[in-house]
Amino acid sequence: MAAQATPKRVLVMSSDNHAGASAAVYRGFLESRHHDDYDRWLESQRGKIYGLDVKPGTTINATMSRQGDPDRAQFGMNLNARLAMLETEGVVGEVLFPNPGSGPRYDDYGVPFAGLLGGSGGTDFGLLAAGQRAHNRWQAETADLSRQVGLALISCHDVDAAITEIERSAASGLRGVLLQGIHPDLAPLDDPIYDPMWAVCAALDLPVHFHEVSGALTASRATGPRTTGRADFLNPIASYESAWFGQRPFWFMLLGGVFARHPKLRVVFAEMGTEWAINALRDLDRIWNRFGSPPTPEPPSAYFERQIMFGFSRVNPHEVRFRREAGIDKLMWGGDHPHISGPWGCTAAFLRSMFGPEGVTETEARAILGENAVRYYGLDAALLGAVADRVGPTPDEVLREADAGDRARVASNMIVI
């Protein structure tokens, strides 16, 4: 078979974008027996931001407030319109993570019965699972699955039910699984109780995903109520800890033997950066050398090399400088569209500002920006390459150094973290 021709333009695919339906649309995908509960839940969300209580006098800075701009809201909630909008950014496809829900202004409350990113927003796991099923159905029936990778939201509270939903979601065309992380009211992820679930994910070749803030409600519990006049999720302690809670599955699964028991299981850590993982891996290998015995017959770094990838979102110059230590073949760029930490309206300018000063080569850029993700998710490279040659940036448009206009455009459109 002849090798696939490389597009003349750069194929840019976001491994981390966000989408969710309006409350009215989600209702149509929710089993009717839950409609009354959904109405009560919606009423409980009035006056909240991202599902969290807003104290009197809460303020959000001017840049953060643009999260609710009409264009961003339209992009986040309309899968039929968003591919055309992505193309204006030079992006040909995306991996779909849920929206956190920004409140009543656009009838956007996030996944029914859920907290941030479709994870647990309370203790009623049955209702949570029902809301997650609605989100999964919405993706499968609405997305263009040749260009949009849908992830099945799964709650681990009932392993048999989780397996049923994973299998149903895979049959509907979704290509991965999104879990909340280490939930304080459930067994940790290295517990053998989850082995049947991991086995199904591996057999169906569905990578398991963890995303920053997927444990943010847990982080909010840990930091306690704040009185700073800001929404809890936006306070600096919870914001910092939200990344750490998202990272915890890394060491639970590496040291707890999950990858050893399931050598074909694949896992993605999204929107958390990479340096933390490399530093943690050195510590995990040292711990393994101290305790070296089953359940991990090989050092954690061996499983890391074979089974873990990164959604390379929230890119900053330091992370780009660190790219080769993390592994070029492990990085899948994520635009985080339409969130304010992503380059909405300035994607090419942002990439120039990140890649140009760090001497990123064309080969590296092509791998990180799209080729790794296309391969990892088993997408049609010829189809996406044709779209890239129509809308994608040229190599020079992402590799030359940014000018003052680029930097001003980035500063006015996003928060660079």
Expressed as residue numbers, the domain containing 174 is 13-413
More confident residue, 63 or 317: 317
Secondary structure letter of residue 264 according to DSSP: T
Is 7 within the bounds of a domain? Answer: no
Percent of the chain with pLDDT over 70: 83
**CB-neighbour burial class of residue 159 (10 A; exposed 0-12, middle 13-18, buried 19+):** middle
Distance between CA atoms of residues 38 and 131, nearest Å:
9
Is 1 within the bounds of a domain? Answer: no
CB neighbour burial string for 323-351, b if at least 16 within 10 angstroms, e if fewer: beebbeebbbbbbbbbbbbbbbbbbbbbb
pLDDT exceeds 70 at position 68: no
pLDDT exceeds 50 at position 222: no
pLDDT of residue 180: 87
CB 90 within 8 A of CB 12: yes
Is 6 within the bounds of a domain? Answer: no
Distance between CA atoms of residues 374 and 56, nearest Å:
46
Distance between CA atoms of residues 123 and 311, nearest Å:
29
| Residue 226 CA: distances (Å) to CA of 52, 131, 235, 246 | 12, 29, 8, 21
Is 189 within the bounds of a domain? Answer: yes
pTM > 0.95: no
Is 8 within the bounds of a domain? Answer: no
pLDDT of residue 29: 97
In the chain, the number of structural domains is 1
Distance between CA atoms of residues 313 and 61, nearest Å:
22
Is 2 within the bounds of a domain? Answer: no
What CATH number does residue 60 fall under? 3.20.20.140
Is 155 within the bounds of a domain? Answer: yes
- pLDDT tens string 238-294: 677 778 888 999 999 999 999 999 999 999 999 998 999 999 999 999 999 998 777
Q: Which of these, 117, 301, 343, 136, lies nearest to 210 by C-alpha position?
A: 117
